[in-house]
Amino acid sequence: MSGRPLDVLEDALGEPVTVRLKSGEEYAGELDGYDQHMNLVLSRASVADDETASTEDTTIIRGDNVVSITP
């Protein structure tokens, strides 16, 4: 998978992704949406490293906090 960042996100819509934040946290969930600022909407997201974390129906992540998105 290669291309411009927004094209990669478009291809990942509806697919599972892992999002790493500046704080070091990682969220795993299904990519439901994004915008030009890389604000993300994830469904069924949880903290990737925490097996006891609850799963949220909808999680919105501000693009300023995103370090990487792995499809």
Read out DSSP for 5-64? HHHHHHHHTTSEEEEEETTS-EEEEEEEEE-TT--EEEEEEEETT-TTPPPEEEEEE-GG
pLDDT at 58 over 80: yes
28-51: per-residue pLDDT in tens? 999 999 999 999 999 999 987 766
Q: In total, how many domains does the chain have?
A: 1
pLDDT value for 56: 80
| CB 21, CB 9: distance < 8 Å | no
CATH at residue 24: 2.30.30.100
pLDDT value for 2: 62
Instruction: Print the domain residue range for 60.
Output: 5-70
Per the document, the length of the chain is: 71
